[in-house]
Structure 1
Amino acid sequence: MKYAKMLAEVAKRLSSKRFSHSIGVSETAECLAVRFHCDTEKAKIAGLLHDLAREVPMNELLPRAQAFGIVVNDIEQAEPILLHPLLGAKLAQAEFGIDDAEILQAIILHTTAGESMTILDKIIYLADVIEPGRGFKGVDSIREMAQVDLDKALLAALDQSIDYLVKRCGLIHPATIAARNEILLKKREC
């Protein structure tokens, strides 16, 4: 499916606010892909489709994920919103014909991050955090870092996310901790 057709389909499925966010992520991902020599088409597509399942009602996320055969851990069971990337990747595959493993993985990791992230994975995670519609405290600093060093920006974004969850007594997905630890260990090797 061509990008223009995907754009039209996504517009039908998402609220105008979520659709604007998805366009912002797609455009930001494309810019980051140019800067960091990543496939721009994959970045645009993953950015556009990353939140396909974000507006699935909370009470439907778990049953729909299970219907696709997605294995759900305790954290995801307790916080079903964390299933939207996994379900979104399945929808991208089933309904948009996306069979590129790199695009699907970037969609899957856009909320929790994870170990062994590729440049595309990092770009989509960061594009979701820094797209122009985001306005949280510290976003400008992460935007600046993302223009220079993906790992430094990713670490700052993960720290911001973890801090947000800790302040709200929220659960932290183990993949988020693993991603953060991997970056810190890599920095120690330098």
Structure 2
Amino acid sequence: MDYNQAVGKLSQTLSAKRFSHSLGVSQTAAELAARFAEDVAKAKLAGLLHDCARAIPSNNLLQMAEVFAIVVNDVERCQPVLLHAPLGACLAQKEYGVDDPHILKAIALHTTGGRDLSNLDKIIYLADFIEPSRDFPGIDKLRSLASDNLDAAMLAAYDKSLHYVIEQGALIHPATVEGRNYLLLQRQTT
């Protein structure tokens, strides 16, 4: 399935707001990929499909994760919405014919981040954070960082995400902490 076919199919499965967000992430991912000499087509497709499982009701996510043999940790069991990312990778493969492991990994990690991310992984994580419809205090600084330095932008995005999760009184996914710590440790050793 090509990009335009994926757009058509996705428009039928997501709400108008979520679909518009996905188009914004796709556009932002393509821009970041061009800026950092990454594959624009891969970034554009990963950005488009990153939320392809987002319309699945929360009460079905755990059951679907079991069907796809996704290992679920305690945080995801308590907050199943986090499973839309790894499930999205499975659906991108099954429903949209995506077989590129780099695209699938970027989709799977776009919500929590993680350790030792590729540039494509970082681009999708950041594009989801800064696409044009996003508006929160500090967004302009984050957009500016993302255009200059992926790692600095990732650290700022992790910090913003952690502050938000703490303010909500929610559980922090260990992959987010691990990703942030990994980047900080990389800074200290270089």
Q: TM-score, normalised by structure 2?
A: 0.99
CA distance in 2, matches of 1:134, 1:55: 19
Mind listing any 5+ residue stretches in structure 2 that lack a counterpart? Answer: none
Q: How does 1:84-163 map to 2 (within 5 A)?
A: 84-163=84-163
Q: How many residues align?
A: 190
Look up the match of 2:9. 9
* Structure 1 SS opposite 2:70: coil
Deviation at 1:189, TM superposition (A): 1.7
Q: Give 2:174's aligned residue.
A: 174
1:176 is matched by which residue type in structure 2? T
Write the distance in 1 (CA, Å) between the matches of 2:108 and 2:140. Answer: 25
Q: Which amino acid aligns with 1:99?
A: D
Deviation at 1:38, TM superposition (A): 0.4
Cα deviation code 1:120-166 (max 9, x no counterpart): 00000000000000001111110000000000001000000000111
Structure 2 match to 1:79: 79
1:28 is aligned to 28
Per-residue deviation, 1:65? 1.1
Distance 2:135 2:15 in 1: 19
* Segments ≥4 residues shifted beyond 3 Å: none
Instruction: Please report how far the alpha carbon of residue 71 of structure 1 lies from its aligned counterpart in structure 2 after TM superposition.
Output: 1.0
Query: What is the CA–CA distance in structure 2 between the aligned matches of 1:9 and 1:54, rounded to whole Å?
Result: 14
In the alignment, residue 9 of structure 1 is paired with which amino acid? K
User: TM-score normalised to the size of structure 1?
Assistant: 0.99
The one-letter code of the counterpart of 1:2 is D
One-letter amino acid matched to 1:46: A
Inter-partner Cα distance in structure 2 for 1:72 and 1:3: 30
Check if 1:58 corresponds to 2:58: yes
Residue 151 of structure 1 aligns with an amino acid whose one-letter code is: D
Which whole-Å CA distance do the structure 2 matches of 1:116 and 1:149 have between them? 16
> Over the residues paired in the alignment, what is the CA RMSD in angstroms?
0.6
Q: Which string of whole-angstrom CA distances, capped at 9 and with x for unpartnered residues, describes residues 52-96 of structure 1?
A: 111211101110111111111111001100100011110000011
SS of match in other structure, 1:147: helix
State the one-letter code of the partner of 1:186.
Q
CA–CA separation in structure 1 for the residues paired with 2:168 and 2:32: 31
Counterpart CA distance in 1 for 2:122 and 2:135 is 20
Q: Report SS of the residue matched to 1:52.
A: coil
Identity of aligned residues (%): 54
Q: Which amino acid aligns with 2:49?
A: L
